[in-house]
Amino acid sequence: MNTLDGRHLIVDSYCRNVELLSNAAALEIALHDIIKLVDMRVLVPATMVKVKLDPSKVYSGQDDGGITGVAVLSTSHISIHTWPQTSRFSFDIFSCNEFDYEKVIVFLNEIFELTAAVSYNFKRVLDPSTPTGIAWQEDL
């Protein structure tokens, strides 16, 4: 029976390279470098959107400003969300093809200088033969 498989890497992190978190052009280059690193094909290049800081919500967890960026890949997507005021970002990449997620984590560590991070690496499986049709397999 046919299954739909995929790999999904999610990284939530604090970092030392705060300047990168507020540099849309550099973040766009970083996303495209990761795409090349894992040998994926871009359908829609990365679009970066600066999210204006709402001073009344600084450090509230509701709005710390930053940048959101996403690129559409032939096999799915890659995205990043940054919060420079709190030195943190969230990143994810999903593909229905396998990719070397460890290379991506090493790359993120090198460019952002991670100080604390949590990564989630899932092998996603949609299998019609399971009772619910969905099975999650966590690798980490």
Q: Is residue 139 part of a domain?
A: no
Please check whether residue 15 is in contact with residue 80, taking contact to mean a CB–CB distance below 8 angstroms.
Answer: no
CB contact burial 7-30 (16+ within 10 A = b; e otherwise): bbbebebbbebbebbbbbebbbeb
- Out of 27-36, 45-54, 130-139, give the one with best mean pLDDT: 27-36
In the three-class reduction of DSSP (H, G, I as helix; E, B as strand; rest coil), residue 5 is classed as strand
pLDDT at 86 over 70: yes
Catalytic residues: 76, 81, 96
Q: Tens digit of pLDDT for each residue in 102-112?
A: 999 999 999 99
What pLDDT shows up at residue 1? 45
Mean pLDDT of 49-59: 74
Q: Is residue 103 part of a domain?
A: yes
* d(C-alpha 128, C-alpha 116), whole Å: 38
What's the structural domain count of the chain? 1
What pLDDT shows up at residue 140? 37
pTM of the model: 0.83
Q: Is residue 70 part of a domain?
A: yes
What pLDDT shows up at residue 72? 97
The domain spanning residue 25 has which CATH number? 3.60.90.10
Q: Is residue 140 part of a domain?
A: no
Mean pLDDT of 82-94: 94
- Name beta bridge partners: 96: none
Q: Is residue 14 part of a domain?
A: yes
Q: What residues make up the domain containing 43?
A: 8-53+63-120
Residues 6+ apart with CB under 8 A from 29: none
pLDDT at 2 over 70: no
Q: Is residue 47 part of a domain?
A: yes
Q: Tens digit of pLDDT for each residue in 14-37?
A: 999 999 999 999 999 999 999 999
Helices in 10-58 by DSSP H: which ranges? Answer: 18-21, 24-37
Two structure tokens written together for 33? 């470098």
Q: Is residue 126 part of a domain?
A: no
Q: Is residue 134 part of a domain?
A: no
Sign of CA dihedral 119, 32, 111, 47: negative
